[in-house]
């Protein structure tokens, strides 16, 4: 009787760890890649009923981060497993690895079937739009690619083939292109920091404005300067520019009129604008309140005594 029959190769803890972790990274990478592609499609074909540019940019940044972490790990783990299989070809037939591969085939096939059902349903409903077709094609290409590769892995002899290396290079190229697109659409880390500074400025101005209105309701007059709003008893201090530390501009132009000023890094994104960067309040539908250009910007405010009566 052969040795392989009397002492069959068993799955070691190392084999289980590598294969399971690789599969998790694969799932994360595939989901991130598809979601990232969906975000690019939504960005390119905005729907006036559901388009929300700030949310799309947030999704691009998050999914890109997931892809940057998961994909290199996937490639590394795959190379380790392939190298191990070349040393011990019998590991290709490990039951644990086979189960994981067939599980992946199941999920990929399920995604393809659901995708096709949605495509046919939209066709019959007369709602076959360009963005939807592109999303269906994205799922078909990604899920179909995963299905085809793992089906070959089950039926073929991967440790003697150059296909895994070819797939790794091809998928790396696709991921790189997707990530580069993210930098062009969502901006570089340095640009994102500038945008976050602007978001903080808007938040500060909103806080100062509310404090001025509250002061008026209590004192029946506008504060002469922002320093008057400081309250040591409550530990309240008027915020300053988060980047320069300078005071925000404040000018009293009438008994009920005042201006708040700040210097911004980027122009804000108003409804229907083609600008790429948005200030924080845009997320909450306040774009007309704090819309601004790049550079020094002042916001004129008038207190309505009927809306804000003195207390």
Residue 30 CA to residue 35 CA, distance in Å, equals 9
Specify whether 157 is located in the same domain as 201.
no
**311 inside domain:** no
pLDDT value for 176: 92
pLDDT value for 4: 46
pLDDT value for 111: 81
Specify whether 273 is located in the same domain as 204.
yes
CB atoms within 10 A of CB 59: 19
Specify whether 159 is located in the same domain as 293.
no
Domain boundary among 163, 186, 209: 186
Q: Model pTM greater than 0.75?
A: no
The answer to whether the Cα torsion of 95, 99, 104, 110 is positive or negative is positive
Specify whether 142 is located in the same domain as 203.
no
Specify whether 180 is located in the same domain as 197.
no
**309 inside domain:** no
Specify whether 173 is located in the same domain as 199.
no
Specify whether 250 is located in the same domain as 233.
yes
**283 inside domain:** yes
pLDDT value for 3: 43
Distances, alpha carbon 58 to alpha carbons 46, 64, 275, in Å: 16, 10, 16
Specify whether 24 is located in the same domain as 80.
yes
On whether the CB atoms of residues 27 and 70 are closer than 8 A, the answer is no
Number of domains in the chain: 2
pLDDT value for 159: 62
**35 inside domain:** yes
Instruction: Give residue 246's region: left, alpha or beta (phi > 0; psi -120 to 50).
Output: beta
Tens of pLDDT, residues 152-180: 877 766 666 677 788 888 888 999 999 99
**1 inside domain:** no
Specify whether 163 is located in the same domain as 19.
yes
pLDDT value for 284: 41
The residues near 198 (Cβ < 8 Å, ≥ 6 apart) are 264, 265, 266, 268, 277, 279, 280
Specify whether 53 is located in the same domain as 199.
no
Q: Which domain holds residue 198?
A: 190-302
Specify whether 116 is located in the same domain as 244.
no
Tens of pLDDT, residues 75-118: 898 888 778 777 776 666 667 777 878 888 888 888 888 878 87
Specify whether 197 is located in the same domain as 289.
yes
Smallest CA-to-CA distance from 202 within 228, 239, 234 is with 239
Which regions in the chain score pLDDT beneath 70? 1-9, 11, 48-54, 89-94, 126-128, 156-161, 269-288
Domain boundary among 138, 158, 186: 186
pLDDT value for 11: 67
Q: Which residues share a beta bridge with 60?
A: none
**174 inside domain:** yes
Provide the token pair at 41: 């499609």
């Amino acid at each position: 009787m052969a040795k392989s029959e009397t002492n069959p190769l068993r799955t070691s803890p190392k084999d289980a760890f590598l294969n399971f972790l690789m599969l998790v990274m694969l799932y994360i990478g595939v989901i991130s890649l598809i979601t990232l592609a969906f975000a690019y499609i939504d960005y390119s074909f905005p729907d006036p009923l559901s388009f929300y540019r700030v949310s799309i940019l947030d999704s691009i940044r998050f999914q890109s981060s997931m892809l940057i972490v998961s994909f290199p790990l996937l490639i590394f783990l795959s190379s380790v497993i392939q190298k191990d299989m070349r040393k011990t070809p019998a590991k290709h037939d490990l039951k644990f690895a086979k189960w994981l591969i067939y599980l992946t085939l199941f999920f990929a096939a399920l995604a393809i079937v659901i995708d096709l059902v949605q495509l046919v349903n939209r066709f019959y409903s007369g709602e076959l739009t360009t963005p939807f077709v592109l999303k269906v094609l994205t799922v078909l290409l990604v899920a179909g690619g995963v299905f085809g590769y793992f089906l070959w892995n089950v039926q073929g002899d991967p440790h003697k083939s150059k296909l895994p290396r070819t797939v790794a290079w091809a998928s790396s190229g696709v991921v790189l292109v997707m990530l580069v697109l993210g930098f062009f659409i969502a901006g570089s880390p340095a640009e994102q920091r500038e945008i976050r500074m602007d978001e903080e400025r808007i938040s500060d101005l909103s806080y100062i404005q509310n404090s001025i209105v509250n002061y008026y309701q209590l004192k029946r007059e506008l504060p002469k300067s922002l320093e008057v709003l400081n309250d040591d008893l409550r530990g309240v201090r008027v915020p300053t520019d988060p980047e320069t530390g300078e005071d925000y501009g404040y000018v009293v132009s009438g008994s009920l009129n005042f201006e708040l000023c700040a210097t911004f890094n980027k122009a804000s994104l108003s409804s229907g604008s083609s600008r790429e960067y948005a200030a924080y309040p845009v997320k909450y539908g306040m774009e007309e309140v704090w819309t601004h250009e790049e550079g020094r910007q002042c916001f004129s405010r008038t207190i309505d005594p009927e809306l804000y009566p003195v207390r």
